[in-house]
Amino acid sequence: MKRYLVGLLLLLLLLTSALIVIAQRKSGELADIEDKLIRSVDEDFPTWSRQEISPIQGSGDVIINQWTHDRKVIRITIIRYASVEQSHERIQEFANDMKAKRKVAEEGDEEYFLGSGNNSVFLRKGIFVVDVEITAEANDEKELLKRFTRLAVRAVK
């Protein structure tokens, strides 16, 4: 009887862990986008170091990557939604909740600035929401934010 219960418990643990791994997998499309983004950043910023950050468990189709160089940190988060309507809804909710400033869309379908120094831009491009944040004490902060945002948007096209 003990063996049966131990075996059943092990089977349940394996099934549960398998479901967690499946739930955290990114779609093939998002994996391709991540690869394209990494290659682009490596080409434009070869001296920067990259770290992949695991999204919160159960957060869906999300990739988070962070690049650092000297005292500069850039974090890019890309979220894939099921439809344009859903991505539009989510970005609107986020913008309202965070009291973000809308800006003229240069790279995406709709764009917002966030932060006291406008050190974060988030935008929607089709079914994707892209968030690019910079932490730096540099004169070129805004230019870096622009360049990394362009790279992220090109990756989702």
Cα(143)–Cα(157) distance, integer angstroms: 21
CATH topology of domain 26-156: Protein Transport Mog1p; Chain A (3.40.1000)
pLDDT at res. 102: 82
Q: Delimit the domains of the chain by residue range.
A: 26-156
pLDDT, mean over the chain = 83
CA distances (Å), origin 108, targets 22, 85, 138, 144, 150: 30, 15, 25, 17, 9
Q: State pLDDT tens for residues 2-29.
A: 543 333 333 334 333 333 333 445 789 9
pLDDT confidence bin for 114, thresholds 50/70/90: confident
pLDDT at res. 66: 97
Q: Is the pLDDT of residue 106 over 90?
A: no
Contacts 24+ apart (CB under 8 A), 38-41: 38/65, 40/151, 40/154, 40/155, 41/67, 41/148, 41/151
Q: pTM here?
A: 0.80
pLDDT at res. 10: 38
pLDDT at res. 117: 66
Q: State pLDDT tens for residues 44-73.
A: 999 999 999 999 888 889 999 999 999 899
Cross-sheet strand order for the sheet of 101-103: 49-53, 62-69, 72-80, 128-135, 120-125, 110-114, 101-103
Q: Are 82 and 124 in contact (CB under 8 A)?
A: no
pLDDT confidence bin for 139, thresholds 50/70/90: confident
CB atoms within 10 A of CB 34: 18
pLDDT at res. 136: 79
